[in-house]
C-alpha cells in the first residue's frame, strides 16, 4: 500500500491542524497518541516521535483527540501504527463532516409526562437526524444555561432541579465532567464566554428553601466569573443596574455584553444594559420596543443582535402569551428596530447561528402547547422560512453548535 502523502494532502492536513485545538486528556491517560508518516521508510516509533515533537512545537494548535482516537481505534486497531494516505484521507473526510452541522441539546423540560430530563441529544442538520447521546447530564434540569468555552468545551450552569435552583455546573468534554459549583444557586440567568475566554454569569433567580423561609429577595443582581487561577467561581464586585431573570445575554463584536429584557416581580422588562468587561461598568442602553422575557438573543455576523419571541406583555388573563415578534439591536446607533416576525409564536425556545441562517426550534406556543417546529432566519434576505428539520418537543433546554473538533460518543 502506498504510504507516500501527496504535497496537496500534506498541505491540507497542515492547514486543518493549525486551526484546531489539541484536546488533551486531564487524567494523564496515554491513549490517543497520534502517529504521522510521510515516507515509507519511517518506523512506527519514529513516526510517533515526529508527531509528538511537532505537537510540542505547535503548542496547543494541533490535531484533536477526536482525530487521534479515530486514527488509533478505528483505522489500524493497534496493529499497523504507521499512517497511510488512505487512512489520512478517510480521517479528513470524517473530520469535515463534523463542521457546523451538529447541535448539542442538553436536558430541558418534556411535555409527556411533564418533567425535566437528563438526556442529551445531538441534532445533525445536514442529514436531519437526531442521535441520543450516550452520556446523560447529572441532573434533571431546565432553565439552565450553556456556553461554548474558548477551548471548545461546553460549560453548563445552574437551572431548576426538582423545583429549586441549583449551583451545580458541568463541562461537556466528550463526556460530562465535574466543574466547580457557582457561588449562588440560580436559574434563568445569563451566561456568556467573553472574548478573552472568561466565563461570566449574570443575575437570574435563586429559589432556595432558605430564601423562601427567610423571605429574602430571590431575584439577583449579582454577577460571577470563573477564576482559572484558583479554579473556582468568584463574585464580581460590580453589580447589575437592576435585578432580573429570564433575560437574554449576548456578547457583542467589541467584547461588551448586552443584557436585554427579562422579568422582575412579575413584570416583563423592556430595558437593556451593557456590561463593559474592560471598564467593569454597566450602563443602560436603548430599550426594546416590547416588554419581553423567556426570549433568545443571538449575535449576527453583521454585528447586530437578533432577539426572537418570548413572553410579551400584556398577558391575557394573567397567563404568559408566547410571541412571534422579533427585534434587531444595532450597537453602533444604539437603536432597536422591528425585524420580520417568526412563523410561529414561542417562548423558552432554542436559537443557534449556522453558516447561512439562524435556526430556532422548541419552546412553548402557550401554557400547554410545546412546539417541535423548526424555522430558519436567512441571513441574506432577513426573513423567516420553514424547515424540514425535525426536532423533539423540548422546553427551556440549551442548544450549542459543536465545533468540528468535538468528539461525540453517540448511539442510535
Same domain? For 76 and 203 the reply is no
Q: Select from 97, 128, 151 the last residue of a domain.
A: 97
Same domain? For 85 and 157 the reply is no
How many angstroms separate the CA atoms of 228 and 179, rounded? 12
Is there a domain that residue 189 lies in? yes
Is there a domain that residue 2 lies in? no
Measured CA to CA in angstroms, residue 37 lies from 79, 82, 142, 168, 262 at distances of 15, 6, 48, 45, 56
Q: Select from 50, 65, 97 the last residue of a domain.
A: 97
Same domain? For 289 and 149 the reply is yes
CA 298 to chain centre: 11
Is there a domain that residue 355 lies in? yes
CATH of the domain at 321: 2.120.10.80
Q: Select from 34, 65, 97 the last residue of a domain.
A: 97
Domain that holds residue 179: 102-411
Same domain? For 41 and 153 the reply is no
By the 8 A CB rule, do 372 and 403 touch? Answer: no
Same domain? For 131 and 149 the reply is yes
Is there a domain that residue 83 lies in? yes
How many angstroms separate the CA atoms of 192 and 251, rounded? 7
Same domain? For 37 and 72 the reply is yes
At 128 the pLDDT is 65
Work out how many domains the chain is built from and give that number: 2
Residue 187: strand pairing partners: 205
For the record, the C-alpha cell of 189 comes out as 440567568
Is there a domain that residue 1 lies in? no
DSSP letter for 74, please.
I
Same domain? For 19 and 110 the reply is no
At 317 the pLDDT is 59
At 407 the pLDDT is 39
H helix intervals, 20-158: 44-58, 65-69, 85-97
At 38 the pLDDT is 33
pTM of the model: 0.75
Residues in the chain: 412
At 303 the pLDDT is 95
Same domain? For 316 and 394 the reply is yes
Same domain? For 41 and 161 the reply is no
Same domain? For 200 and 296 the reply is yes
At 262 the pLDDT is 95
Same domain? For 93 and 106 the reply is no
Is there a domain that residue 208 lies in? yes
Is there a domain that residue 403 lies in? yes
Is there a domain that residue 236 lies in? yes
At 168 the pLDDT is 95
Asked if the bond preceding 113 is cis, omega within 30° of 0, the reply is yes
How many angstroms separate the CA atoms of 297 and 308, rounded? 6
What does the pLDDT profile of the chain (412 residues) look like in tens digits?
343 445 555 555 454 444 333 333 333 333 333 333 333 344 444 444 444 444 434 333 333 444 444 444 433 444 444 445 555 555 555 545 544 467 888 888 776 656 677 778 878 777 666 666 646 777 888 899 999 998 778 999 999 988 899 999 999 876 788 899 999 999 999 999 999 999 999 999 999 988 888 888 899 999 999 988 888 999 999 999 999 999 999 999 999 999 999 999 888 899 999 999 999 999 999 999 999 999 999 999 999 999 999 988 666 556 668 899 999 999 999 999 999 999 999 999 999 998 889 999 988 887 667 777 899 999 999 999 998 887 877 788 999 987 654 433 333 3
Please report where in the chains the cell 482559572 appears, as a residue: 228
Same domain? For 40 and 92 the reply is yes
Amino acid at each position: 500500500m502506498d504510504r507516500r502523502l501527496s504535497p496537496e494532502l500534506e498541505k491540507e492536513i497542515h492547514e486543518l491542524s493549525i486551526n484546531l485545538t489539541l484536546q488533551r486528556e486531564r487524567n494523564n491517560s496515554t491513549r490517543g497518541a497520534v502517529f504521522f508518516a510521510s515516507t515509507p521508510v519511517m518506523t512506527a516509533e519514529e513516526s510517533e516521535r515526529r508527531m509528538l515533537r511537532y505537537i510540542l512545537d505547535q503548542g496547543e494548535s494541533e490535531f484533536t483527540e477526536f482525530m487521534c482516537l479515530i486514527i488509533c481505534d478505528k483505522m489500524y486497531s493497534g496493529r499497523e501504527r504507521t499512517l497511510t494516505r488512505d487512512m489520512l484521507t478517510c480521517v479528513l473526510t470524517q473530520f469535515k463532516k463534523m463542521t457546523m452541522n451538529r447541535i448539542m441539546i442538553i436536558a430541558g423540560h418534556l411535555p409527556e409526562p411533564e418533567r425535566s430530563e437528563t438526556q442529551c441529544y445531538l441534532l445533525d442538520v445536514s442529514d436531519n437526524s437526531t442521535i441520543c447521546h450516550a452520556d446523560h447530564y447529572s441532573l434533571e434540569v431546565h432553565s439552565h444555561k450553556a456556553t461554548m468555552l474558548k477551548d471548545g468545551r461546553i460549560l453548563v450552569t445552574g437551572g431548576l432541579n426538582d423545583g429549586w435552583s441549583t449551583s451545580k455546573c458541568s463541562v461537556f468534554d466528550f463526556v460530562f465532567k465535574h466543574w466547580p459549583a457557582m457561588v449562588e444557586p440560580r436559574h434563568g440567568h445569563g451566561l456568556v464566554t467573553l472574548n478573552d475566554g472568561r466565563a461570566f454569569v449574570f443575575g437570574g433567580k435563586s429559589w432556595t428553601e432558605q430564601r423562601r423561609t427567610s423571605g429574602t429577595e430571590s431575584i439577583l443582581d449579582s454577577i460571577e466569573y470563573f477564576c482559572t487561577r484558583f479554579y473556582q467561581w468568584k463574585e464580581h464586585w460590580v453589580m447589575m443596574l437592576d435585578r432580573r431573570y429570564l433575560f437574554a445575554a449576548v456578547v457583542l463584536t467589541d467584547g461588551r455584553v448586552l443584557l436585554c429584557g427579562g422579568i422582575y416581580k412579575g413584570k416583563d422588562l423592556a430595558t437593556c444594559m451593557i456590561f463593559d468587561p474592560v471598564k467593569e461598568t454597566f450602563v443602560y442602553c436603548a430599550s426594546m420596543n416590547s416588554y419581553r422575557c423567556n426570549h433568545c438573543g443571538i449575535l449576527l455576523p453583521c454585528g447586530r443582535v437578533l432577539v426572537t419571541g418570548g413572553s410579551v406583555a400584556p398577558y391575557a388573563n394573567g397567563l404568559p402569551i408566547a410571541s412571534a415578534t422579533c427585534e434587531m439591536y444595532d450597537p453602533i446607533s444604539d437603536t432597536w428596530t422591528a425585524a420580520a416576525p417568526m412563523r410561529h409564536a414561542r417562548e423558552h425556545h432554542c436559537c443557534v447561528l449556522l453558516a447561512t441562517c439562524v435556526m430556532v426550534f422548541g419552546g412553548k406556543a402557550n401554557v400547554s402547547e410545546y412546539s417541535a417546529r423548526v424555522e430558519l432566519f436567512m441571513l441574506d434576505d432577513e426573513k423567516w422560512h420553514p424547515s424540514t428539520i425535525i426536532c423533539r418537543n423540548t422546553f427551556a433546554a440549551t442548544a450549542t453548535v459543536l465545533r468540528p473538533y468535538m468528539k461525540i460518543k453517540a448511539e442510535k
